[in-house]
Amino acid sequence: MSNSASSADHVVRTTPLYDRVKSVIPAIEWPAFAEDIDVILRLKRERDTVILAHNYQTPEIFHCVADIVGDSLALAREATKTDAGMIVLAGVHFMAETAKLLNPAKRVLIPDLRAGCSLAESITAADVRLLRERYPGVPIVTYVNTSAAVKAESDICCTSGNARKVVESLGVPKVVMLPDEYLAQNVARETGVEIVTWAGHCEVHERFSAKDVRQLRAGHPGVVVLAHPECPPDVVAEADFAGSTAAMIDYVAERQPPRVVLMTECSMSDNVAVQHPNVEFIRPCNLCPHMKRITLANIRRSLETLTHEVTVDPTVAAPARRAVERMLAI
Ligand code: 13P
Ligand code: SF4
């Protein structure tokens, strides 16, 4: 493929991809995406690269350039399986760090180093050490939405997709669960295990309220409400189902509700709607500003310039990897 291809060439070559997303991307916008997509696909081949994309990435990333898509758990698992020499993580920094922990010999890139997470920002390794002193002998379960340094101080990690299983696997009456207070409260209710929480919140999910759920039900009769467990417990209590982003996608795929609302980040509905044209999606929209830092333009730049490489200090990496691998073994 020549680097001097015209805009029309890019559009022609990417037309089959546009067909996948035409229900959520207006035709007039496609020429603005086509060149970056065309170049990204070429660079991926030339650079033996796999793109892992979280379910919150926008449809032109999720459906057109990603090789593997999923929730945090799936991305961590898939990161252990890829044969590619390089990984570009279209998601947030902790996801790239997790991919690096599991692939120390591979180059892991994130297109924008500022793609953080309010949960990861809410706690430090020193905080975890203090909790360990305060609750001696109580296992510390850490959500993957944390830095490698925080994981390194923990006994085991969890994601929203396996939090209940991880807590139950410990077989103890009390655990410390960090840093998402709402996820911890939701898991405590499901398991009956006493959970010491931390006051971290997801800035996207904490904005949903039980009143929103009631208003959605009143305005859209028959709507099925699916909530992410990072939502406050009263939202989860009023929802029909709570689960990770992947669990919500599976719910829609298996049950095909005529009308559904996903109480989670905006792009999820677009991505899932593409595959389920018979399902009506009601879309209250809360954007994750960190996920939205990743764009086609900076994925392309990442592949062109091999930036930004994510590294983890080896002294932190070893214990952090142990906590993630212990989770993956469950
Ligand atoms: P999952 O995709 O693992 O459910 O996580 C949601 C999330 O907020 C990731 O940042
Ligand atoms: Fe973090 Fe929430 Fe954004 Fe996920 S949606 S990356 S938990 S701020």
Q: Decide if 100 is inside a domain.
A: yes
Q: Is the pLDDT of residue 1 over 90?
A: no
pLDDT mean across residues, the chain: 97
Question: How many domains is the chain built from?
Answer: 3
Q: For residues 319 and 151, what is the distance between their CA atoms, to the nearest angstrom?
A: 8
Determine whether the shortest distance from the Cβ of 204 to ligand 2 is under 6 A: yes
237 and 296: one domain? no
Q: Decide if 323 is inside a domain.
A: no
Confidence of residue 268 (pLDDT cuts 50, 70, 90): very high
CATH at residue 218: 3.40.50.10800
Whole-model pTM: value is 0.97
Share of the chain above pLDDT 70, in %: 99
108 and 124: one domain? no
Q: Decide if 182 is inside a domain.
A: yes
CA nearest ligand 1 atom 4, residue: 244
Confidence of residue 285 (pLDDT cuts 50, 70, 90): confident
Ligand 2 atom closest to the CA of 289, numbered from 1: 3
Q: Decide if 97 is inside a domain.
A: yes
Query: Cα of 13 to ligand 2 centre, how many Å?
Result: 34
8 and 95: one domain? yes
| Residue in 147, 228, 268 to alter for ligand 1 test, most ligand atoms within 8 A of Cβ | 228
Assess contact for 43 and 303: CB atoms under 8 A.
yes
Ligand 2 atom closest to the CA of 94, numbered from 1: 6
Do the bridges between strand 49-54 and strand 107-109 make them parallel or antiparallel, or are there none, so unpaired?
Answer: unpaired
CB atoms inside a 10 Å sphere around CB 169: 16
Determine whether the shortest distance from the Cβ of 265 to ligand 2 is under 6 A: yes
Ligand 1 atom closest to the CA of 230, numbered from 1: 8
Determine whether the shortest distance from the Cβ of 267 to ligand 2 is under 6 A: no
The residue from 202, 234, 256 where one domain ends is 202
Give 239's contacts (C-beta < 8 A, 6+ positions apart): 213, 225, 226, 227, 231, 263
Q: Is the pLDDT of residue 287 over 80?
A: yes
Assess contact for 158 and 76: CB atoms under 8 A.
no
Q: What does the pLDDT read at residue 221? A: 98
Alpha carbon dihedral 112, 115, 120, 123, in 10-degree steps, equals 80
Q: Is the pLDDT of residue 305 over 80?
A: yes
Assess contact for 234 and 256: CB atoms under 8 A.
no
Q: Decide if 318 is inside a domain.
A: no
Rounded to a whole number, what is the distance in angstroms from the first to the last CA of the chain?
Answer: 45
The amino acid at 18 = Y
Query: Cα of 228 to ligand 1 centre, how many Å?
Result: 8
From the CA of 267, the nearest ligand is 2
- Which residue range(s) make up the domain with 180? 120-202
CB atoms inside a 10 Å sphere around CB 267: 22
169 and 254: one domain? no
